[in-house]
Amino acid sequence: MKREYRPELEESADLIDAVCQLFDATRVEILVEDNSLYIQVAEDWGDATIHSLLFCLSPRTETDEAELYAEFNDQGNGMFGAQVGTIELSRDLLTVTPRAGSGLTPGRVSYSEDADPASGPTWVSGKRLGRIVARLRCDDGEISSLDQALSQVTQFGVNYRARLKTTDRLQD
């Protein structure tokens, strides 16, 4: 029997017509490829990725400006630059609060009703994603690397806060 997918969604008084989605980040990857920095936190169920929060920081080139793209779960469910809003990192959590109007939607990676039965609250229908919270299941070295990589988002107008044991940094 397949494991049933139930999105972990919450309403919050500070989110108007939006919801917060939470997931357990069981994998952290930081990769430099073609001079771009890729940062991903993801939740895997066996071989399947269920949730993915991906940041791509591309440098300025002769033909293009530097760019930040953040994507939640699937292509097309993303935002650019300052739309990302605020990123907060603590030892246990990575929280992204997009600016209003980002257009992100809650859900999971490559959801298919046939492949993965799902159920969830009906009140979420039509609401945008106002906050993403990844509960980090990684070691101190991965947290430190994540902090160093994420600190680069400030050049794109994103507020970044790290509240770690050895660091309490606020970069706006």
Q: Does residue 119 surpass a pLDDT of 90?
A: no
CA distances for 123 relative to 18, 49, 77, 127, 128, angstroms: 10, 25, 20, 8, 12
- What's the pLDDT score for residue 167? 47
Q: Which is more confidently placed, 105 or 30? A: 30
135 touches 156 (CB < 8 A): no
- What's the pLDDT score for residue 48? 79
Q: Does residue 117 surpass a pLDDT of 90?
A: no
Q: 3-state secondary structure string, 145-163?
A: HHHHHHHHHHHHCCEEEEE
- What's the pLDDT score for residue 115? 45
Question: How high is the mean pLDDT of the chain?
Answer: 83
Distance CA 68, CA 39 (A): 11
Confidence of residue 125 (pLDDT cuts 50, 70, 90): low
- What's the pLDDT score for residue 70? 94
Q: Which is more confidently placed, 27 or 102? A: 27
> Whose CA is closest to 58, among 160, 163, 152, 168?
152
Which residues lie closer than 8 Å to 13 by C-beta, 6 or more apart?
none
pLDDT by residue (tens digit) across 9-55? 888 888 877 888 999 999 999 999 988 999 999 998 888 788 899 99
